[in-house]
Structure 1
Amino acid sequence: MGSGALAEVELSEDLQGREVAFDSIPVIDISTLADGSDEAAVAAKLRDAAERVGFLYVTGHGIPQTMIDGMFAQARAFFDRPQDEKMAVHIGKWPVHRGYFPLFEENTDPAMTADLKEGFDIGRDLGPDDPEVLAGLPLHGANQWPQGDPSFRAAADGYFNALCRLGARLMRGFAIALDLEPDFFADKIDRPLAQLRLLHYPPQSGHVAAKTIGCGAHTDYGCVTVLAQDANGGLQVRNTEGEWISAPPVPGAFVVNLGDQMARWTNGRFQATPHRVINVSGKERYSMPFFFDPNWEAEIACLPSCEIPGEAPKFAPVLAGPYLQSRFDATFTYRQDKAAL
């Protein structure tokens, strides 16, 4: 799909993100989390960002820009395929929530209409003899792959595995930030419900109202999200004053935000911050969120360091996998259609 000429765009007043310097969302160099030389200092910065904002930019993450750029190129090539080729790997044809979904398939904000975006979901690629597959765990199994392009799978596998390592490193930093043992989360994320999502947002023109934006306001469902976004921007984050602010791309940095499960684990101490996407760049927008979520059976209950003396936890315990599955069921139309059968 070509970007074409820039179109006239008029945003409703409630959709106008206030332009602020990007450092209103903290930028944190996490390189010392990898070598262990200064974990405490990084953890303190992670704690501050998690408690005040729920969003941060991370640099020093160790993932080569060439790998990120290569995955973006693969995403663009996939979304440029004819619609019938993309629908051949539709997410509804696969039992474990993997594959392509077209425009308006997902509705992240139930108060609005469905999202103006298409995507492709990739998870841990598990064979039929994997113990979790043999146990029949939902959301566990093989990926769907587009036909005729083995380079797509090779690039996705490499990028996915690199992000899993980064997700584990961030969880180590958050454990230290929460006054837990550094490896506290290790046995809860060693078989993660991780998901790489490739997204394409067509450009919007004319009057843009809240019911017709790329991705409706929502919090993420899981633990930690690591986002690569192209240069066209469009991400907005709602701050504690209820204002929507822009979260523009920062060269060489990922956007990291926390989800509902981390908020539940920390008794609301760490923030799951609402965000949305509005593509008014006049160009095709591409982004690649990576959701690093705990093992299926991990219990998400108030952590000891987050208990408030004399008060009950704010959230009831849940299991990570069933909670995540319930959120997919609520937001994807294909899953709702199946439930009605």
Structure 2
Amino acid sequence: MSTTTTTTTAPKTKPPASEESKVEADAYVHYHDGGVPGKRRILTGADARPTFTELPRIDMRRMFSSSLADRQELAGEIGAACRDVGFFFAVNHGVDDAVLDSTFEAMEKFFDLPTEVKMETHNKKSAKFRGYEAFLEGRLDPSTRGDLKEGFLMGEDATDPEQARPLTPSTSTPRNQWPTHPSATFFRPAIYAYYTAMLTFSKQLLSIFALALELPEDYFSAISTYPMTNVRAVHYPPQTRDADVGIGAHTDFCWFTLVVQSATARPALEVLNGNGVWVPVVVPEPHAFVVNIGDFLKLVTGGTWQSTVHRVRNMGGEERYSVPFFFSPNEDGRVAVLERFRTRGQTYDEITVGEYFQKRLDIDRTTHLDKGPEKTKAGGTY
């Protein structure tokens, strides 16, 4: 959930000798991090430094152990992954395979519906950007024709009875959009089964993150009672042009993200390492969660934990489906750098979660193209 990627090099024409020292003769990867444009030099040969070349695989069964020592051991592994990579695979996570299978079945069925049925919930009708996003409507990399994907976004909504959230003046307006056409009514219960399972897992995982930071397990509970949450169901068709991108390079604005993806022979998700090299995410086993740290955990750790840049390029010739779950603190929660990560004499501000989230959402909105429904079919005329 964020913005752009391009790769640039220094000019091919050599400048005059007097100007040569002013030219960056290096290649860079460009992206957005926390909504701010950034770049990373591509390091090769003697300039390359130690960094990750694959994602760690972590067995989550210890999360459910009654032994604090077991949970602390797990937290140590997760903390190292968050510090060194910002991503890891969560296996043996306890979420029912049947729920995950039915979620993907529902996604494939929904995205196969006629465009006019999906466009009933077009996200431009929603103040929170919820609902359906058509092919190429997003353009996170301005050098491309648009993000080659379609998606459906839902999230926290006190007016949805499935969430059992308290109605307040600030939460009494509906945020989600759900299709009402008879051919699409299957979608809401399927997505909510996934939502409920991932919310339960996320709250347990948050306690492990607290342990990894040498904090009490319930340290973050007070600001995560009614967390901001999103499920984004995404369909990536096969890319036939190298210039295309499924979604551009970005970081996530949340506590953390859990991603379950359909199996494809060639990985599509890629993670940027410290040398500016894209590392393909090779899922070790079916239904493994890809977990990545978002901006809020990077913030509270003073940048010690990595909110790592990633992108999707579906070049393997297969349809790909992905369903990330984004977990954030309460909308009115306030977060700041933890004391143990502060530098003496430096001033630190608190950030209101909902305000930061809205700023990042507004950035995403500016990347959307003004296209009509007639231009939304993948493989058609754009």
TM-score (norm 1): 0.85
Q: Distance in 2 between matches of 1:67 and 1:14?
A: 41
Moved more, 230-239 or 146-155: 146-155
Kindly indicate whether the alpha-carbon contact (under 8 Å) linking 1:179 and 1:305 is maintained by their aligned counterparts in 2. no
Change (3 A) 1:74 1:131: closer
Deviation of residue 311 (structure 1)?
4.2
CA distance in 1, matches of 2:80, 2:332: 29
Stretch moving more, 36-45 or 303-312: 303-312
Letter in 2 for 1:44: G
Other-structure match for 1:60 = 92
- CA 140–300 in structure 1, closer or farther in 2 if over 3 Å, else same: farther
How big is the shift at 1:131?
Answer: 7.7
Deviation per CA, 1:122-168: give whole Å up to 9, x if none: 21342289886542359964442353244322221111011011111
The structure with more radius of gyration:
2
Query: 1:147 aligns to what?
Result: 181
TM-score normalised to the size of structure 2? 0.76
> How has the CA–CA distance of structure 1 residues 112 and 325 changed in structure 2, closer, same or farther, with 3 Å as cutoff?
farther
Q: Rate the CA distance shift 1:14–1:288 in 2: closer, same or farther, 3 A.
A: farther
Structure 2 counterpart of 1:331: 364
Which of 267, 270, 294 is residue 259 of structure 1 equivalent to?
294
Residue number in structure 1 paired with 2:129: 97
SS of residue paired to 1:208: coil
Aligned-residue identity in percent:
34
**Does residue 1:277 correspond to 2:312, yes or no?**
yes
Aligned pair 1:135/2:169, yes or no?
A: yes
- CA deviation profile, 1:234-280 (whole Å, cap 9, x unmatched): 00000112111100223231000011111111110110000000001
| 3-state DSSP of counterpart to 1:294 | strand
Paired with 2:127 and 2:358, the residues of 1 have a C-alpha distance of 12
Match among 278, 282, 297 for residue 248 of structure 1: 282
Match of 1:185 in 2: 220
Rounded to whole Å, the distance in 1 between the matches of 2:28 and 2:101 is 33
Q: Secondary structure at the match of 1:193?
A: strand
Structure 1 unaligned runs (5+)? Answer: 1-11, 16-21
Bigger proportion of residues as helix: 1
1:17-166, aligned counterparts within 5 Å?
24-37=54-67, 38-109=70-141, 114-127=146-159, 134-137=168-171, 141-148=175-182, 149-166=184-201
* Contact 1:25 1:247 survives alignment (8 Å): yes
How many equivalent residue pairs? 317
CA separation of 1:268 and 1:282: change in aligned 2, threshold 3 A: same
Residues 163 and 139 (structure 1), Cα distance of their counterparts in 2 relative to 1, 3 Å cut: farther
Q: Give RMSD over aligned pairs.
A: 2.9
Structure 2 stretches lacking a partner, 5+ long: 1-7, 9-26, 30-51, 371-382
